[in-house]
Structure 1
Amino acid sequence: MSAPKDPPSFSEALDLWHYDLYELGMMAEDLRKKTVGDVVTFVANYNINYTNVCVYRCPLCAFYKEKGEEGAYFLSVEEMLKQAAEAVWLGATELHVVGGIIPELTVEYFEKFFSEVKRRWPFLTIKALTATEVSYLARINRMSVKEVLERLKEAGLDAMPGGGAEVLDDEVLKVIAPAKSAEEWLRTIETAHELGIRTNATMLYGHVERPEHIIRHLMRIRELQEKTGGFLTFILLKFKPKNTELWRKGLVKHEAPAPYDAKVVAISRIVLNGFINNISVYWVGYGKKYASALLNFGGSDLVGTAFSEKIFRSAEAHDGYATLEELAHYARTSGRVPAQRDTFFNIIRYL
């Protein structure tokens, strides 16, 4: 089989699923080497999850709690600032701030936290709030998405994560996250880009999707990037079914198999290369050793140290936490050159 033209069309990208895995990997690796070389990057980041209470109750999520349920929490600004102080002590350069969807959220809550972080630690990058959180925040505060983002940017918001996209197809979202909308996610991200707020893009796969859903997601991300140029990286998130409603109902009985993972990584590189050149393999969902192997299918980034990550671990993703030195080691095992980066993919140092 010959490689599709660059960039591949929807039908050409869908045909990639029928390629031999070795051939597909070689195609993706060839593009990766030509585009970004042999460097594997990662950021020193600290995760702050301000609440695990969520009214959306997505069937894909093992993290959320009902209000009043044992283990439910909602952090005060002061409690978040204590975590930010720990992040600084651990050497983090980025705060990754996300949480559940609750009516108690206000724009002022985040403004107070962001502005105080910037006052105390101006060198910290604040990457916060998924498009889902922002659009809900706008709704309950009776503001436009643009107004919310303008205020948060003024308070210190530097960038946004790419979570909440799941798979950008409403047929899939109806099963795994019925409160979410593909169009709403895309509109919110486009507004962020228009305001100069760079974002990540993600895809959570390995549940009920079919190959055409994966390709449609990639195409929608590519189209938006062509329009705005605002995406920093494309992050692959492997679904962990344990403790989720999808798992309890038997809709997803096991994790995606290794060949499927490798195909998703490789096809993401082939479809997005030249539009989004950073393809991130989130080691928390794969395990460090396995993630390093997937780098050989077009991956170029391991995301970050993920200090204090809770969301994946609530679905029994147990691979501890990562230091910069550990991530550097696993990058080297794939024959690559490890480098610490900042949120915006500027190299801080080679390790």
Structure 2
Amino acid sequence: MDVLDRALKDVNSVSADELEKLYDYDIFTLGEAASSLRVPKYGKKVFFNTNRHINPSNICSDVCKFCAFSASRKNPNAYEMSIDEIVYQGVKSFNNGALELHVVGAHNPNHSYEWYFDLFSAIKKAIPKVHLKAMGGAEVDFLHRKFGVSYEKALEDLAKAGVDSMPGGGAEIFDSGIRKKICHGKVSGENWLKIHNIWHKMGKMSNATMLFGHIESRNHRIDHMLRLRAIQQDEARVEAKEGGFNAFVPLLYQTHNNFLNIKASPSGQEILKTIAIARIILSNIPHIKAYWASLGLNLALVAQEFGADDMDGTIEKESIQSAAGAKSKQGVDELEMVAQIADAGFIPVQRDSLYNEVKTYQTSKPTFKAS
């Protein structure tokens, strides 16, 4: 039995070195294999949500070489939003249909520990029905380092303040050698995993990311995926929304305005192979997200044929990927998202943050009817 067949039957029986050989398969074989896992679960559905990204500040005490968002000599336009400004933006977006607020930012040394929880409490007080996704593992580690609180304490305080789930940012590549070169001083891979594992054991859901296409090797990507697989909770608990990773998000490194000086992105084939391999290795994580803000709409739609089942959302305003060159600054209109998914031959499904289906679009070009 070859490596692909063995991986499809039981990933745990295949070594990391063998799994790296999945990249040697032709792209159509990998796509077919990934689809054999995707289609029985989701058919032709492609998920998206209506969400708003809010980044409270770009002033950061850490210096990551791949980052174009944080204020630096590459980005001299430092800013801080007040709690009132953030709440105002959140209310405005919720009134315009956003079901989720995605609140992440830089590791701002000017904020007190209490500032974060005052912010989240104020958001939930103003819009209690919104799903608040906030503070990834790197930000929790920053609170731990700056204020001396345990991970458990910080996560308990987040939950009490109304944070519903955690985003997956800050994972980058778990390998310590790569992290030393691209984000030295930031949360370690081991501690990122520890933070999310604690959150999951609290019965909470999160996402997981992987930043790829920079100085990492294929082996580093495989290692990253296997570490995520290893800490994922029991599949039945995850499906019941009782703690675990909702989705894996492969984030394509953006080449502009940062300090890594990498001139070209990986080929489309390399990107699609990575997504397909992620679907095969991470069979215990329900969803693979082709994040359109990182990949672009067209490639994200193609990725739905290679194991992905989600596009992320409308976003409304995107600052992190676009600062590094992605064409995502203004988000995408909901009906445009629906039209793009339908035109690619899929069924558009609006979801909430925990992948409960909100609206399925029955498409009959050129109009769309929600049911």
TM range (shorter): over 0.9
Say whether 1:7 aligns with 2:1: no
Say which SS state the counterpart of residue 240 (structure 1) adopts: coil
Cα distance in structure 1, aligned partners of 2:198 and 2:156: 10
1:85 pairs with 2:91:
yes
Of 112, 130, 137, the match for 1:131: 137
Kindly indicate whether the alpha-carbon contact (under 8 Å) linking 2:60 and 2:109 is maintained by their aligned counterparts in 1: no
Q: Which of 215, 221, 231 lines up with 1:224 in the alignment? A: 231
Contact 2:63–2:184 under 8 Å retained in 1: no
- Residue 293 (1) aligns with residue 302 (2): yes
Separation (CA, whole Å) in 2 of partners of 1:126 and 1:332: 28
2:259 aligned residue: 245
Task: Report whether the alignment pairs 1:47 with 2:20.
Answer: no
> Which sits farther off after the overlay, 217-226 or 133-142?
133-142
Q: Decide whether the 8 Å contact of 1:236 with 1:280 is kept in 2.
A: yes
1:281-311, Cα deviation, whole Å (9 max, x unpaired): 0001111122111111111000111111100
Aligned-pair distance for 1:217?
0.5
Q: 8 Å contact 1:199–1:231 — kept in the other structure?
A: yes
Q: Does 1:182 align with 2:189?
A: yes
Q: Deviations over 1:16-61 (max 9, x none)?
A: 0111111111111111112332211011110110110112110000
SS at match of 1:50: coil
Residues of 1 paired with 2:62 and 2:42: CA distance? 38
TM superposition score normalised by structure 2 = 0.89
Structure 1 counterpart of 2:369:
none
Give the letter aligned to residue 259 of structure 1: Q
Q: Counterpart in 2 of 1:312?
A: 321
Please state how far the C-alpha of 1:226 moved relative to its aligned partner. 4.0
5+ long unaligned stretches in structure 2: 239-243, 362-371
RMSD: 1.6
Distance in 2 (CA, whole Å) between partners of 1:12 and 1:292 is: 29
Secondary structure in 2 matching 1:126: strand
Q: 2:41 aligns with which of 23, 35, 40?
A: 35
1:234 pairs, out of 248, 261, 269, with: 248
Partner of 1:268: 278
The letter of the residue matching 2:209 is: T
Q: 1:60 maps to what in 2?
A: 66
Report matched runs for 1:204-219 at 5 Å.
204-219=211-226
Higher relative contact order (CA 8 A, sep 6+): 1
State TM-score, norm by structure 1. 0.94
CA distance in 2, matches of 1:149, 1:107: 12
Give aligned-pair identity as a percent: 34
- Give yes or no for contact 1:32–1:298 (8 Å, CA) kept in 2: yes
Secondary structure at the counterpart of residue 339 of structure 1: strand
CA distance in 2, matches of 1:70, 1:244: 12
Residue in 2 aligned with 1:158? 164
Matched, 1:278 2:280: no
- Cα distance change on mapping 1:191 and 1:226 into 2, 3 Å: closer
Shift in Å, 1:196: 2.0
Cα distance, 1:98 vs structure 2: 0.5
Could you tell me how far apart the structure 2 residues matched to 1:264 and 1:330 are?
A: 23
